[in-house]
């Protein structure tokens, strides 16, 4: 290739990586790269975050595109599949690379920048192929709407508006509870230490951390909103992957309907704007499911598809501990799909799949085994911070979600998930329920547009079953939503076919799905108007004012940060959020700290002595968190603890120094750590 050809081949690399990186660098020089207090105008910080996110996404996609070529599955992939798998593989590689830096004590901004630069150079030859994949995928999608230009513009308009609203929410300062409890706190603490450390006091930070380490890239480079934009990117990739899988399985119309069903669940795009990891887990897990289904259809490439399925499953296992419930479901599904080839042969294939997936995910669990003595800390052995009694309290909380655990309750799930959806909800309970169209998926064994979709019924039953025996939080059911969307689309198309309603395009199903997506758009618009992120992004409202509206304990956190000495140690009761408090707070990450301490210290004198020996100088009583925990209190332990602290301990040993509608803060007077000082 001559020099001109080489330069032409580097153009995609320049447009995808170097240009946004250079613009992000300019924004950094303007003062945008400061996590807590950007020196630049808010819109410059938001622009910096967006450009940095685009740069990292492009590097991840390019790296993953090259890895996909090494796996030899790209030749049998559609264009949308190539893009989906490229992004999945690339984010996994960047997460593992950042993890490696943390293990060797190089988790610092210069080393992270060097990692990104190295990944970009390795991926550079793949950007021309990535650009071609994007162009061909866009041509395919445009071709779907060639006969209906009006429909294309309507879809483009609705999806663009929804994307804009969610992007505005994602670019605003972080406020999601779990993000402020551990998804952002853990990488910040690791960056401060320069290495990965066990964090036993923050329970969830000791689980799989591949996506949290991606968020650490943003924190290292001066932006915490990066986490929300990347999580939104995972959510967008999930919808895109469902579109691609649906087009292959059900035809072009079926792909759009399946993606529309998923997008038509109002809570889904709002979940995507939070600094969580659920979208990433659902994305990886769905791709694992899709690979296994492709394996059943491809004799020549079955080994490669199962290898890719194991990698996707491993990435899900490296993202969230609840993905462990995926492995028995996928193992059993492989046995069901391959039973015609002989049980012995299929059993070996399923076992190899499970072993490879677990082995690839093992770095997260081996670290816990070595550093904490428990690969699934603290659920197998625990330690002095999380002994058996405290773990049991936390398990009581996790098991308190749902409408019951009997066989009858499992049979009644399709009813209870809607009629009693609040018992499965964790936040935004008014809109936290599955798609209203999902019950149609129950008809898939009897009505479908293609028999190729029927195997999904077995997988959905198995995966819902493994979710049912764990914590029945609706958010943990998200990985099943893409599968249910495909199943529902297959049933809708089958009904249209039987009733002879289908013309060139499934108009009835399309109209029904479009109505659901418009409903999601309305909910997103209402939420955006209420949250007012645009005010925070333009500077008409300060970051503090925005957070004071969005984070119910933020005012108390600012009071602690500004009014208490650095030596103060604030014990949070029923409040796990500590991101905006800093090192002064001792968070209740498992939200059972109050009940556990009472079990260990049942009298005022014993409690005073225990807190004094731990250096606690202040107690924060989270009324909002307590109210939530009282609705998940099967044994009455939280109610008993609340009575003790409110009626016995704090009236004797606490001096109130701050109070609002949600939080009360007390200075301890019975036993004060000598170095703490007073307020």
Sign of CA dihedral 86, 87, 88, 92: positive
First vs last C-alpha separation in the chain = 72
The whole-number pLDDT of residue 301 equals 46
Say yes or no to pLDDT of 638 above 50. yes
> Can the peptide bond before residue 378 be classed as cis, meaning omega within 30 degrees of 0?
yes
Tell me the average pLDDT across 532-549. 92
The whole-number pLDDT of residue 7 equals 47
Say yes or no to pLDDT of 112 above 80. yes
Tell me the average pLDDT across 186-214. 91
Tell me the average pLDDT across 537-550. 92
The whole-number pLDDT of residue 354 equals 87
Q: Give the Cα-Cα-Cα angle 136, 127, 253 (nearest 5 degrees).
A: 25
Per-residue confidence band for 298, with pLDDT thresholds at 50, 70 and 90: low
The whole-number pLDDT of residue 621 equals 95
The whole-number pLDDT of residue 320 equals 92
Closest CA to 205 of 595, 594, 587: 587
Give the tokens for residue 301.
Answer: 């490439």
pLDDT over 90 for what percent of the chain? Answer: 62
Task: Convert the pLDDT of each residue in 17-52 to its tens digit.
Answer: 777 788 778 877 777 777 766 667 888 889 889 989
Per-residue confidence band for 496, with pLDDT thresholds at 50, 70 and 90: confident
Tell me the angle at which helices 278-297 and 226-250 cross, rounded to the nearest 10 degrees.
Answer: 20
Say yes or no to pLDDT of 505 above 80. no
Say yes or no to pLDDT of 313 above 80. yes
The whole-number pLDDT of residue 16 equals 76
Say yes or no to pLDDT of 678 above 70. no
The whole-number pLDDT of residue 22 equals 81
Tell me the average pLDDT across 515-541. 93
Indicate the range of 4-13, 238-247, 329-338 predicted with least confidence.
4-13
DSSP β-bridge partners for residue 570: 585, 618
Residue with tokens 């959020």: 577
Q: What is the DSSP string of 523-555?
A: HHHHHHHHH-HHHHHHTSS-HHHHHHHHSTTHH
Say yes or no to pLDDT of 429 above 80. no
> Can the peptide bond before residue 197 be classed as cis, meaning omega within 30 degrees of 0?
no
Closest CA to 468 of 329, 261, 284: 329
d(CA 469, CA 130): 41
Per-residue confidence band for 676, with pLDDT thresholds at 50, 70 and 90: very low
pLDDT over 70 for what percent of the chain? Answer: 94
Half-sphere exposure of 328 (CA within 13 A, CB side): 12
- The H-or-E segment that residue 233 falls in is helix 226-250
Per-residue confidence band for 172, with pLDDT thresholds at 50, 70 and 90: very high
Identify whether the C-beta of residue 420 lies closer than 8 Å to the C-beta of residue 408. no
Say yes or no to pLDDT of 413 above 90. yes
Average confidence score pLDDT of the chain: 89
Neighbours of 252 (CB within 10 A): 17
Identify whether the C-beta of residue 82 lies closer than 8 Å to the C-beta of residue 109. no
Say yes or no to pLDDT of 677 above 50. no
Residues constituting the chain? 679
- H, E, C per residue of 69-129: HHHCCHHHCCHHHHHHHHHHHHHHHHHHHHHHHHHCCCCCHHHHHHHHHHHHHHHHHHHHH
Say yes or no to pLDDT of 679 above 80. no
Task: Convert the pLDDT of each residue in 204-218 to its tens digit.
Answer: 888 888 999 999 999
DSSP β-bridge partners for residue 618: 570, 667
d(CA 585, CA 607): 18
Per-residue confidence band for 674, with pLDDT thresholds at 50, 70 and 90: very low
Mind listing the domains of the chain with CATH numbers? 552-668 (3.40.50.12610)
d(CA 364, CA 368): 7
Question: Which has more confidence, 679 or 608?
Answer: 608
Strands (E), 446-583: 570-573
Say yes or no to pLDDT of 8 above 70. no
Say yes or no to pLDDT of 675 above 50. no
Q: What is the DSSP string of 375-425?
A: TTTTSSS--SSS-HHHHHHHHHHHHTSSS--SHHHHHTHHHHHHHTGGGT-
Per-residue confidence band for 182, with pLDDT thresholds at 50, 70 and 90: very high
Give the tokens for residue 425.
Answer: 């909800």
């Amino acid at each position: 290739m001559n020099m001109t050809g080489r330069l032409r081949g580097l153009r995609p690399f320049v447009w995808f990586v170097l240009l946004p990186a250079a613009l992000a660098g300019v924004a950094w020089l303007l003062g945008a790269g400061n996590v807590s207090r950007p020196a630049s105008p808010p819109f410059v910080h938001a622009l910096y975050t967006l450009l940095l996110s685009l740069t990292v996404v492009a590097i991840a996609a390019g790296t993953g595109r090259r890895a996909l070529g090494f796996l030899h599955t790209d030749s049998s992939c559609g264009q949308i599949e190539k893009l989906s798998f490229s992004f999945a593989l690339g984010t996994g590689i960047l997460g593992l690379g950042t993890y490696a830096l943390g293990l060797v004590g190089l988790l610092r901004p210069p080393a992270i920048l060097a990692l990104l630069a190295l990944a970009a150079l390795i991926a550079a030859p793949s950007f021309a192929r990535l650009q071609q994949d994007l162009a061909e995928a866009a041509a395919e999608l445009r071709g779907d709407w060639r006969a209906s230009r009006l429909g294309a513009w309507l879809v483009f308009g609705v999806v663009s508006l929804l994307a804009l609203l969610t992007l505005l929410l994602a670019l605003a300062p972080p406020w999601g509870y779990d993000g402020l409890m551990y998804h952002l706190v853990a990488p910040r603490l690791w960056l401060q230490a320069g290495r990965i450390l066990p964090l036993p006091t923050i329970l969830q930070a000791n689980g799989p951390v591949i996506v949290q380490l991606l968020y650490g890239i943003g924190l290292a480079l001066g932006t915490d909103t990066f986490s929300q934009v990347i999580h939104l990117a995972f959510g967008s990739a999930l919808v895109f992957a469902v579109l691609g899988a649906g087009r292959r399985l059900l035809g072009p119309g079926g792909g759009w309907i399946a993606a529309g069903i998923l997008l038509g669940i109002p809570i889904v795009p709002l979940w995507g704007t939070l600094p969580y990891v659920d979208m990433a887990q659902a994305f990886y897990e769905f791709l694992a499911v899709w690979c296994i289904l492709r394996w059943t259809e491809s004799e020549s490439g079955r080994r490669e598809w199962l290898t890719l399925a194991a990698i996707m499953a491993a990435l899900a296992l490296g993202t969230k501990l609840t993905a462990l419930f995926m492995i028995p479901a996928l193992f059993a599904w492989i046995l069901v799909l391959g039973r015609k080839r002989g049980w012995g042969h299929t059993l070996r294939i399923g076992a190899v799949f499970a072993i490879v997936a677990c082995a690839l995910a093992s770095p997260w669990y081996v670290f816990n085994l070595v550093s904490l003595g428990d690969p699934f800390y603290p659920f197998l052995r625990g330690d002095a911070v999380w002994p058996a009694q405290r773990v049991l309290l936390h398990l009581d909380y996790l098991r308190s979600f749902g409408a019951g655990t009997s066989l009858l309750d499992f049979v009644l799930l399709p009813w209870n998930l809607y009629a009693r959806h609040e018992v499965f909800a964790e936040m935004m309970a008014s809109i936290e329920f599955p798609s209203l169209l999902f019950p149609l998926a129950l008809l898939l064994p009897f009505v479908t547009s293609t028999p190729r979709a029927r195997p999904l019924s077995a997988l959905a039953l198995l995966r819902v079953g493994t979710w049912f025996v764990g914590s029945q939080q609706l958010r943990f059911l998200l990985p099943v939503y893409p599968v249910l969307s495909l199943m529902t689309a297959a049933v809708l198309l089958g009904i249209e076919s039987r009733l002879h309603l289908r013309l060139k395009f499934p108009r009835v199903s399309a109209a029904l799905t479009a109505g659901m997506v418009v409903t999601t758009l309305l909910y997103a618009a209402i939420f955006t108007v209420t949250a007012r992120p645009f005010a925070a992004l333009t500077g008409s409202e300060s970051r503090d004012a925005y957070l004071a509206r969005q984070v119910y304990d933020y005012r108390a956190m600012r009071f602690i940060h500004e009014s208490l000495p650095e030596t103060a140690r604030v014990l949070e009761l029923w409040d796990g959020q500590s991101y905006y408090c800093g090192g002064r707070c001792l968070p209740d990450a498992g939200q059972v700290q109050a009940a556990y301490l009472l079990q260990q210290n049942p009298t005022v004198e014993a409690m005073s002595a225990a807190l004094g020996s731990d250096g606690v100088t202040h107690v924060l009583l989270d009324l909002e968190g307590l109210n939530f925990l009282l609705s998940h209190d099967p044994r009455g332990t939280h109610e008993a603890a609340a009575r003790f602290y409110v009626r016995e301990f704090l009236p004797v040993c606490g001096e109130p120094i701050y109070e609002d509608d949600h939080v009360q803060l007390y200075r301890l007077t019975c036993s004060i750590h000598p170095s703490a000082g007073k307020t």
